[in-house]
Amino acid sequence: MRIELVPSSLPFSELQFLVSFIVNDVIAIDGGSIGFLSDLRRQQKLKHVFITHEHLDHIASLPIFLENVYEPGMDCVEVLAAASILDFLHTDIFNGRVWPDFFKLAQPNNPFMKACILEPLRPVQLAGLTITPVPVSHGTETLGLIVDDGAAVVAFPSDTGPTELFWRHLATFDNLKAVFLEVSFPAACSDLAAATGHLCTTTFASEIKKLTTEVRWIVVHRKARYADQIASELRALSHPGVEFVCPGMVYDF
Ligand SMILES: [Zn+2]
Ligand SMILES: [Zn+2]
């Protein structure tokens, strides 16, 4: 399984402003930055876009992406999300004001975009992968995703504060290789992290203890202004499995 966090800062840096992962070239997890990839062929290869929740850093480039790649026919792009998120996208983004109503324009007999409802704990099978949505604790309805290609399992809890069901469900998978886990705030902002449904370095340290398997903990979603502080606090933990994501690097599992 090949995974890349799409870079979102220009000129290129380690700072992460937006969230989009690409899995095996054809699946995207979140639409934060896929629409800004300068190689349009890479955008055109993406056929299935999972949206974990509606926060702007996760959907910022989705309208641009769909504009770039829409192609009438049964092979068109599919957007997969919880029903409430699809409803939000239709009502508040693709509403004919912010952006054209792609939901209505796509006719069943000639679609150029499909919407697919994700149900918690009901796996979907796409492009040789089994992807299981599992709710996390982010204040707004958010589905983390567990991606399994039969040989390796990689987890994307998306944005979350301290949570339980996701870790319990993840523990039932064999072959878990890595978790791309968020740390948004340093320890000094623990109140803000709790109020906004995110992890700080302190809660990150307790979350990773909820899983007894040895895995790579790949830190994502550091708020740009705190990125250095978060890095030094996490290094002080000296947890052997913890590393920082490299945007634009392809991870092979
Ligand atoms: Zn969020
Ligand atoms: Zn976010």
| For the CA of 53, the nearest ligand | 1
Residues in the chain with pLDDT < 50?
none
By DSSP bridging, strand 27-29 and strand 77-81 are unpaired
Q: Distance from the CA of 148 to the center of ligand 1, in angstroms?
A: 24
**Ligand 1: centre distance to CA 159 (Å):** 5
Please give the distance, rounded to the nearest whole angstrom, from the Cα atom of residue 151 to the centre of ligand 2. 29
Ligand found nearest the CA of 57: 2
Q: What is the pLDDT of residue 34?
A: 98
pLDDT number for residue 73: 82
Number of domains in the chain: 1
| Closest ligand to residue 183's CA | 2
- Which pLDDT belongs to residue 175? 97
Nearest ligand, CA 136: 1
- Minimum-distance ligand to the CA of 60? 2
The pLDDT score that the predictor gives to residue 75 is 84
Domain membership of residue 76 as a residue range: 2-252
The CATH number that applies at residue 50 is 3.60.15.10
> Do the bridges between strand 129-135 and strand 124-126 make them parallel or antiparallel, or are there none, so unpaired?
antiparallel
Cα(107) to centroid of ligand 1, in Å?
Answer: 31
pLDDT digits (tens, 9 = 90+) for 112-129: 889 999 999 999 999 999
Q: Is the pTM of this model over 0.95?
A: yes
> What's the gap in Å between 113 CA and the centre of ligand 1?
24
What pLDDT was estimated at residue 109? 78
46: left (phi over 0), alpha (psi -120 to 50) or beta: beta
